[in-house]
Chains A and B, each alone.
Chain A
Amino acid sequence: MNSTAPLTVGEHPHASFPEGVELDCGVTLAPVDIAYCTYGRLSPQKDNAILICHAFTGDQYVAETHPLTGKPGWWGRMVGPGKPIDTNRFFVICSNVLGGCMGSTGPRSVRTDGQGAPGEQWGTAFPPITIRDMVRAQHKLVRGLGIERLFAVVGGSMGGMQVLEWAVSYPQMMLAVMPIATAPFHSAQNIAFNEVGRQAIIADPDWRGGRYWEAGVVPARGLAVARMMAHITYLSEEALTRKLGRRMRRGPAGGQGPEGPVSTFGDIFEVESYLRYQGSSFVRRFDANSYLSITRAMDWFDIAADHDGELTPAFSGTAVRFCVVSFSSDWLFPTSAARTLARALNRAAANVSFVEIETDKGHDAFLLEEPDFDRTVRGFLCGVAEHAGLF
């Protein structure tokens, strides 16, 4: 939260599409850059590619040190040689979502609609995007890599929404999908959480109507508060209690606040300190306008709404193999949402597996150490490979 310097924009490996992407809102965004990483080798038959879709604040750096934060890849424990998504066998692709801020075209890119000052950023003028628009951009990337059909599309949380959108929009383009810790629509409660985050950003004086870059600042406090609030929803009460409980830590002034020896906020709870850290490290890597754009895309996500309010027709006749995974303590994307999806898939006579992993780690469990989950991912992918006669 102390950092108010603007983000440094590095060069990220990317593909450029001069023809752009036609968005759901009717606007054609052109050109479009999609930043991506790949791991493993594409087979000569080009039949071993797995597309990984990242979650809301994730990015393409799945299994390597992040160039900006220096932290290990966000799914390094799942993706790599000998890992459940084994890069000795599979060619793994992950791209930064459209609207993101890690090299793909987003609100921080230079405006291409001919409006504004030359070289000006899109900012809040960036056209509204949807999960389907993100998937359209990924589809361009995959085709651009010469891949006709993916082996699988895998992703958790917002990544899971993209996975479902892939299965609905391009059912011929993959053998299998793994929607993890996700839902076929964004719930009212989740829209509510997103709105609190957005309001925190907009209320920050440094947001400056979305044109914060002009003053060389970022709405760091608002963005940090948004992140802190969201982070609570990624955990569970049990996990918070186990990790941090009611433990206190000495305040910077040794228990003394600014008002003197006895202070309301002298000492702080570990949980407060933890959230502040989460908030402050986030603002260094994430753009506020991307936060607004992407949360809105999630809010609009509702597969049934695009199919006359029914989920099943969206998947009717699909030959894709589904593996739906939920986590018992996830209250952001609860098992009930996964069950709704699994039942709709059953109605569509789809080949579906549905597993709820027992854990107290909440929504974030899909990023953490969960041996049952690892076994599920590995086993499902192996099963599909066996069925397809791949290995």
Chain B
Amino acid sequence: MRLDQRLIADMIEPRTRVLDIGSGDGTLIGHLYRERGCDARGIELNMELVTRSVAHGLPVVHGDADHDLAYYPDHSFDYVVLQRTLQAVERPREVLRQMLRIGRYAIVSFPNFGHWQLRLRLLLGGCMPMTAVWHTPWYETPNIHPCTIRDFLELCRKDGYIVEKWMAVDEEGERAPWRRSIRLANLFGEQALFLLRRR
């Protein structure tokens, strides 16, 4: 399990209901189900990964964040998780709204576009920055809605979501040291991880 998945797992209370959007090969829901006694389910777009998850006994449906969340009833989960995908969905604001309609808490991680390397490369090179995290050229990237940690906090404020926890994480998923200063986190954090709830 990736380190940031471990951080996500640590945010989740045992024996709760969890929906993981973009559950991949089912690592997180498998862990939550087997180690934490959670009723953990997944949605995944890649059919090969869906089949692999189901073949491992995990409840996963084929679908995606933009089109399938509307079919879940209100408050049907305690946590709804979206890992490293917010920047790639068609309507991130709507996806967040759906997540907090379905779940009591939303756990969202995304790559931070405010990282100093990106800022510097755009400033000095004048081209769309390419880094280890942002590694596809602009004409091929699925990341159609990049945002910074500040941008995300602003959206949460606008839509009335309460940030229960937040942290910056580096690419390996190690928790980064900038815990108090959003300014520093936004400059040095490669990934951001948020635990949100409805007001």
Contacts and interface: CB of A to CB of B under 8 A. Distances in A.
A382 interface: yes
Contacts of A351: 39, 41, 59
B106 interface: no
A352 B50 CA distance: 12
Interface stretch (A37-45, A108-116, A119-127, A341-349): A341-349
B54 A379 contact: yes
A378 B61 contact: no
Interface string B41-77: 1000001001101111111111100001001110010
Interface in A311-357: 321, 323, 339, 342-344, 346-349, 351-357
Contacts of B62: 339, 342, 354-356
Nearest to B33: A387
Contacts of B39: 351
Given A343-B71, A347-B73, A352 B57 contact: no
Given A346-B71, A347-B71, A347-B72, A352 B51 contact: no
Contact of A379 (B55, B61, B68, B73): B55
Contacts of B53: 353
A22 interface: no
B55 A346 contact: no
Contacts of A355: 47, 50-51, 54, 62
B57 A379 contact: yes
Interface in A73-87: none
Interface string A350-390: 01111111100000000000001001101110111011000
A348 B74 CA distance: 11
A372 B58 CA distance: 15
B47 A383 contact: no
Mostly, the B contact residues are mixed
Given A346-B68, A349-B73, A357-B51, A321 B61 contact: no
A380 B71 contact: no
A141 B68 CA distance: 39
Given A355-B50, A355-B62, A383 B57 contact: yes
A354 B76 CA distance: 18
Contacts of A375: 51, 55
A68 to B, nearest CB: 35
A372 B55 CA distance: 8
Contacts of B68: 343, 346
Contacts of A347: 71-73
Given A378-B55, A380-B54, A353 B72 contact: no
Interface in B72-91: 72-73, 76
A358 B54 contact: no
Contact of A353 (B60, B71, B76): B60
A376 to B, nearest CB: 5
Nearest to B52: A375
Contacts of A379: 54-57
Contacts of A358: 47
Contacts of A352: 41, 59, 61
Contact of A376 (B55, B61, B63): B55
Given A378-B55, A379-B54, A379-B55, A346 B61 contact: yes
B47 A356 contact: yes
Nearest to B56: A379
A340 to B, nearest CB: 10
Contacts of A353: 50, 53-54, 58-61
Contacts of A339: 62
Interface string B178-197: 00000000000000000000
A351 B57 CA distance: 12
Nearest to B72: A346
A283 to B, nearest CB: 38
Contacts of B56: 379, 383
A323 B47 CA distance: 14
B65 to A, nearest CB: 14
B134 to A, nearest CB: 31
B110 to A, nearest CB: 25
B191 to A, nearest CB: 29
Contacts of A348: 73
Given A347-B72, A372-B51, A386 B57 contact: yes
14 contacts: A323-B54, A346-B68, A352-B41, A352-B61, A354-B61, A354-B63, A355-B50, A356-B62, A357-B51, A375-B55, A376-B51, A380-B55, A383-B54, A387-B57
Interface of B: 39, 41, 47, 50-51, 53-63, 68, 71-73, 76
Instruction: List 8 A-B pairs, minimum CB-CB distance, nearest first.
Output: A383-B57, A379-B55, A354-B61, A375-B55, A343-B71, A346-B71, A349-B76, A353-B54
Given A323-B54, A342-B61, A358-B47, 15 more contacts: A339-B62, A346-B68, A349-B72, A352-B41, A353-B54, A353-B58, A353-B61, A354-B50, A354-B61, A372-B55, A380-B54, A380-B57, A382-B57, A383-B58, A384-B57
